[in-house]
């Protein structure tokens, strides 16, 4: 079993963060249990406790992974724009 898991912050709705793991499973977590500076687009590293469940209170923002994923997204968007003959894809 993994000792931690990555979740991307899809959005924040009122006092709840909507997180998505790499298998595209969505999880709703109260903001009070997550880092205060959390914003949409951040990637969180969540420790997994002995019972195999996420320890939300020990989550931290992985700045390097956040930058990496944003760069990957930018490259995919550029590639799509370059292949778009009609100019329908915008940033």
User: Got the DSSP string for 20-83?
Assistant: EETT--EEEEEGGGS-TT--TT-EEEEEB-TTSSB-GGG-EE-HHHHHHHHHHHHHHHHHHHHT
The confidence band for 77, taking pLDDT boundaries of 50, 70 and 90, is: confident
Query: What average pLDDT score do residues 12-40 get?
Result: 96
Query: What average pLDDT score do residues 45-74 get?
Result: 94
For residue 80, the model assigns a pLDDT of: 84
Quick check: 1 pLDDT over 70?
no
């Amino acid at each position: 079993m993994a000792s931690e898991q990555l979740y991307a912050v899809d959005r924040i709705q009122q006092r709840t963060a909507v997180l998505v793991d790499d298998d595209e499973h969505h999880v709703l977590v109260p903001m009070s249990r997550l880092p205060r500076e959390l914003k949409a687009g951040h990637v969180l590293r969540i420790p997994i406790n002995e019972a195999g469940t996420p320890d939300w209170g020990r989550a931290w923002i992985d700045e390097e992974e956040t930058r990496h994923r944003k760069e990957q997204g930018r490259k995919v968007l550029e590639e799509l724009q370059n292949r778009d003959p009609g100019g329908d894809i915008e940033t």
